[in-house]
Amino acid sequence: MVKLHQPTSRKRGRLGLSWQSLTLASMLLFSAFGGAIATKESKVDHTKVENAMDEKQPVKKFITSAYVYDHAGLTFSQRDAGHLDQMNYSFALIKDGKVSGAHWKSIKQFHAFIKANPHILPVLSVGGWGADGFSQAAFTQEGRRLFVDSSLELMEQYGFLGIDIDWEYPGSSAAGIASKPADKENFTLLLSDLRAGLNELTRKDGKERKLCIAVGGTVSATELIENLQVSELVDQINLMTYDMQASNLATHHTNLYPSGDVYDASVDTAVEAYVEAGIPREKIMIGCAFYGRVFSLKGTKGKGLYQPSRSPASNAYNYGKLQAVMAQGEYERHYDEEAQAPYLVKAGTFISYDDPDSIKAKAAYVREHELMGLMSWEYGGDPSGDLLSAMYEGLNQP
């Protein structure tokens, strides 16, 4: 059974923030049917009332999306097609100011899969960790024009009906990329120009185009973009709620809720931070990890969680490898009920990851808080399709 939590007021010790749960004010309806009040002069048509009550309210559609990392030998399973609404092909890069896919190795296979499954929305993802060129392109009007024109050209060439901008991160050179103090404002200008370009394509052929962005899954990441302005321009905001681990402790890296008072990064913490910053809930996608982060522990006693680690968990196992590791019986599996997150432990090693249970908990959270849906990094890490199936089934409960 999935354990549902409500957002709670927690002292965010590590991040120095305090959050208050958002409360929806109750709405007093003047009348359920057209504002009419029965009086001596006004009669209610009970047949119409009964018919209106019988009409089913439209069911909200939650989105299941997967990033697809381009590499040689990329394959797709038709088994997964029914569990997907959207796929983000990753990544186009910026070369000499232009968005390019010249380095792609498996775009033909992706195109064939989408052609066979036209219900899946194909999205072009630009950037990724360590991808340079955004700051330079966004800095001038001419640079933005070149970026937008080349993006639209690449979308048209391969039939993409959406674009996802994954700039990691405006104003930051953490990955060794160029950055400028004006990146935050220039990012908004870049998205505005891109939105205008997409709208022009739609005006010409009638096909809707989706504009998405990927953003950091931490409270501090909310300060890197102009949230209110950006939210008016984009259709979807992908919260990268993975790799949230601490640098010197064995912690969860993609947990739904904080656990204990040691470290408080979590999906819920990130969602509430973005909502408080002005992002509409209905545009938020939360991330699922199709991989685990591996920590080397300094000690060999205990369950591993929150023990000092020798490294910042730079090593990763995809879910296919984790399934093989678990089948060997060397690791002991634990499930943190408070965090709604699993982990594996053996002497000296701790692995934080997502599994079907934690993903269904995330899906229940999406439904409960009326977010847009779930996204995952990345499709190739789940060869069995178990995690993708859990995403879809969790979001589409009757």
The catalytic site residues sit at 168
Sheet architecture: strand order including 349-352: 315-318, 291-296, 349-352, 341-346, 332-336
Residue 304's contacts (CB-CB under 8 Å, 6 or more residues apart) are 250, 295, 297, 343, 345, 349, 350
> Using a CB cutoff of 8 Å and minimum separation of 24, what contacts does 195-204 make?
195/233, 195/234, 196/148, 197/148, 197/149, 197/151, 197/152, 198/152, 198/163, 201/152, 201/155, 201/156
Amino acid sitting at position 227: N
Contact by Cβ (8 Å): 281, 228:
no
How far is the C-alpha of 54 from the C-alpha of 27, rounded, in Å? 22
Q: Which two tokens stand for residue 369?
A: 């808080």
How far is the C-alpha of 186 from the C-alpha of 390, rounded, in Å? 38
Contact by Cβ (8 Å): 68, 90:
yes
Q: Which two tokens stand for residue 386?
A: 């178990």
How far is the C-alpha of 178 from the C-alpha of 97, rounded, in Å? 13
User: For residue 276, is the peptide bond before it cis, meaning its omega torsion is within 30 degrees of 0?
Assistant: no
Q: Which two tokens stand for residue 142?
A: 């001419």
Burial bucket for residue 126 (CB in 10 Å: 0-12, 13-18, 19+): buried
